[in-house]
Amino acid sequence: MKKTGWGILGAVAAFTGYAYWSTKHLTVTNYEIVSDKIPAEWDGATFIQLSDLHSASFGLYNNPLLSIVNELAPDAVFLTGDMIDGDESPYVAMAVVRKLAKEFPVFYVTGNHEGRSAFYEDFKADMEKHHVAVLENERYFLKKDGAAIMVAGVQDPRFVKENWAEKELPKEEWEEAALKEALDDATANLSSDYFTILLAHRPEFWPLYQAYPIDLVLSGHAHGGQFRLPLTEGLFAPGQGFMPKWTAGIHRAGGKALVVSRGLGNVTKLPRLFNDPEVIRITLKAKGDA
């Protein structure tokens, strides 16, 4: 009986140790995006996507995380929301963004946590002071040797909640309506000739994104489904509920692609299981070179 008890205790200790280790074990996931709209000048260009830091720390001053990005040496870094965590201090995220912005062009969109943070305006001002492009329903040309691609970004619906409250719509309806307005603004008069990347925090609106002249969407928010089990997209994701559809990986439809980051931090008291924090590297390939 004592041996059984010690065995159970050992198993619990091992599981607890693994659960903690897995929340700090950073992994790099690589995706290659091939399109005949990618100019030859952009063939082989790389981007890093970071999402859902939630003010977490990975080692001293987040140096392990920053070292990974520096070693990958991307053409730009895309931050897809929830870098800060509700009303917690923004200084951890500020320090990370400042260091990234010293080395690379950085593009940022908000998540729902920025939308409920009392510190967001301070965080935004600090990012802009350090030349981060904060995309609020707008787009930006990226040029290399005279050839351009487009980066667009939309603000999270959380920021416009008050504008829709009086309409008394269900949450899912006003969020989609608000996001549609944001997408209309971000893509107004956008030529489909340009290869266009959209930064948008919420992957659950993937069917909506497909209606716009967008080639690649980068999202986060879903935390990898929290518990990742074989043959599933995880057990639960905010905005999607139980047994969600879009929590990680690459999803394709109609010649467009959605990349969902598992994110970095953890916003619940439940551990991430089989769901390591993720740095995403995207490589562009001109179709003629594929």
pLDDT at residue 283 is higher than 80:
yes
Q: Please tell me the least confidently modeled range out of 133-137, 175-179, 259-263.
A: 175-179
Contact 247, 275 (CB under 8 A): no
Tell me the pTM. Answer: 0.90
- DSSP calls for the chain: -HHHHHHHHHHHHHHHHHHHHHHH--EEEEEEEEETTS-GGGTT-EEEEE---TT---SGGGHHHHHHHHHH--SEEEEES--S-TTS-SHHHHHHHHHHHHHS-EEEE--HHHHT-TTHHHHHHHHHHTT-EE-SSEEEEEEETTEEEEEEE---GGGGHHHHHTTT--HHHHHHHHHHHHHHHHTTT--TTS-EEEE-S-GGGHHHHTTSS-SEEEE--SGGGSB--TTSS-SEETTTEES-S-SSEEEEETTEEEEE---SS--SSSPPBS---EEEEEEEEEGGG-
Computed over every residue of the chain, the mean pLDDT equals 89
**198 falls in which pLDDT band (50, 70, 90)?**
very high
Distance CA 193, CA 241 (A): 36
Query: In the chain, what percentage of residues exceed pLDDT 70?
Result: 87
**In sequence order, what are the residues at sequence separation of 6 or more whose Cβ sits closer than 8 angstroms to the Cβ of residue 18?**
none
pLDDT tens digits for range 61-84: 999 999 999 999 999 999 999 999
pLDDT at residue 85 is higher than 50:
yes
Give residue 256's pLDDT.
Answer: 98
CATH at 43: 3.60.21.10
Of residues 274 and 94, more confidently modeled: 94
Show the tokens assigned to 120: 């967001």
Give residue 103's pLDDT.
Answer: 98
Distance CA 114, CA 36 (A): 36
Give residue 24's pLDDT.
Answer: 66
Q: How many CB atoms lie within 10 A of CB 89?
A: 14
pLDDT tens digits for range 19-36: 554 556 899 999 999 999
Give residue 15's pLDDT.
Answer: 47
Give residue 232's pLDDT.
Answer: 73
Give residue 7's pLDDT.
Answer: 54
Number of domains making up the chain: 1
**266 falls in which pLDDT band (50, 70, 90)?**
confident
Residue-number span of the structural domain to which 159 is assigned:
2-289
Exposed/middle/buried for 262, CB within 10 Å: 0-12, 13-18, 19+? buried
Distance CA 8, CA 18 (A): 15
- Residues paired with residue 282 on neighbouring β-strands, in sequence order: 31, 47
Residue 11: phi, psi to the nearest 5?
-65, -40
Contact 12, 263 (CB under 8 A): no
- For residue 141, give the amino acid letter: F
pLDDT tens digits for range 118-148: 999 999 999 999 999 999 999 999 999 999 9
- Residues paired with residue 280 on neighbouring β-strands, in sequence order: 29, 49
Show the tokens assigned to 118: 């009392």
